[in-house]
Amino acid sequence: MNNSGIKILVTGGMGYIGSHTVVQLIARGYRVVIADNLCNSNRNILSRIAQIAGQEPQFYEIDLCDKQALNDVFKKEEDIKAVVHFAALKAVGESVQHPLKYYRNNLISLLNLLEVQELFDANNLVFSSSCTVYGEPDALPVTEKSPVKPATSPYGNTKQVGEEIIKEQCTASNLRSIALRYFNPVGAHESALIGELPIGTPNNLVPYITQTAIGKQPFLRVFGNDYPTPDGTCIRDYIHVDDVAAAHIAALERLLNPPSESEGFEVFNIGTGRGNTVLEAIRAFEEASNQKLPYHVAPRRVGDIEKVFADTSLSNSVLHWKAEKDLHTMMASAWEWEKKLKINPLV
Task: State the residues that interact with ligand NAD by CB under 6 A.
Answer: 12, 14-18, 36-41, 63-65, 86-90, 105, 109, 128, 130, 182, 185
Among ligand NAD, ligand UDP, none, residue 205 binds (CB under 5-8 Å by kind): ligand UDP
Report which of 51, 53, 66 is spatially closest to residue 22, judged by C-alpha positions.
Answer: 53
Q: Is 331 in the site for ligand UDP (CB under 6 A)?
A: no
Exposure letters 68-83 (e unless 16+ CB within 10 A, then b): ebbeebbeebeebbbb
Q: How far is the CB of 95 from ligand UDP (least distance, A)?
A: 12
Q: Is position 238 annotated as part of the catalytic site?
A: no
Alpha-carbon Rg of the chain, whole angstroms?
19
Residues 134-163 that bind ligand UDP (CB under 6 A): none
Q: How far is the CB of 14 from ligand NAD (least distance, A)?
A: 4
> Which residue has the CB atom at the shortest distance from ligand NAD?
15
To ligand UDP, the closest distance from the beta carbon of 184 in angstroms equals 5
Q: Which stretch binds ligand UDP (CB under 6 A): 57-65, 154-162, 202-210, 257-265?
A: 202-210
Which residues have a Cβ under 8 Å from the Cβ of 168 and sit 6 or more positions away?
A: none
For ligand UDP, the closer of residues 68 and 296 by Cβ is: 296
Among the listed residues 43, 75, 76, 301, the single contact to ligand UDP using CB under 6 A: 301
Kindly state whether residue 221 participates in binding ligand UDP, applying the rule CB under 6 A. yes
Write down the least CB distance from residue 12 to ligand NAD, Å: 3
Q: Which is nearer to ligand UDP, 45 or 206 (CB)?
A: 206
Cα(319)–Cα(254) distance, rounded to whole angstroms? Answer: 7
Position among 48, 176, 236, 240 found at the interface with ligand UDP (CB under 6 A) = 236
The only residue of 205, 239, 251, 252 in contact with ligand UDP, by rule CB under 6 A: 205
| Shortest Cβ 299–ligand NAD spacing (Å) | 23
Q: How far is CA 85 from CA 28, 171, 228, 328, in A?
A: 18, 19, 37, 29
Please name the residues in contact with 199: beta carbons below 8 A apart, sequence gap of 6 or more: 40
Catalytic residue, from 134, 155, 182, 238: name it.
155
Q: Does 278 bind ligand UDP (CB under 6 A)?
A: yes
Question: For every residue of 283-327, which 3-state class applies, written as one string?
Answer: HHHHHHHCCCCCEEEECCCCCCCCECCECCHHHHHHCCCCCCCCH
| DSSP three-state, residue 236 | strand
Q: Report the C-alpha gap between 259 and 250 in whole angstroms.
A: 13
Catalytic residues: 155
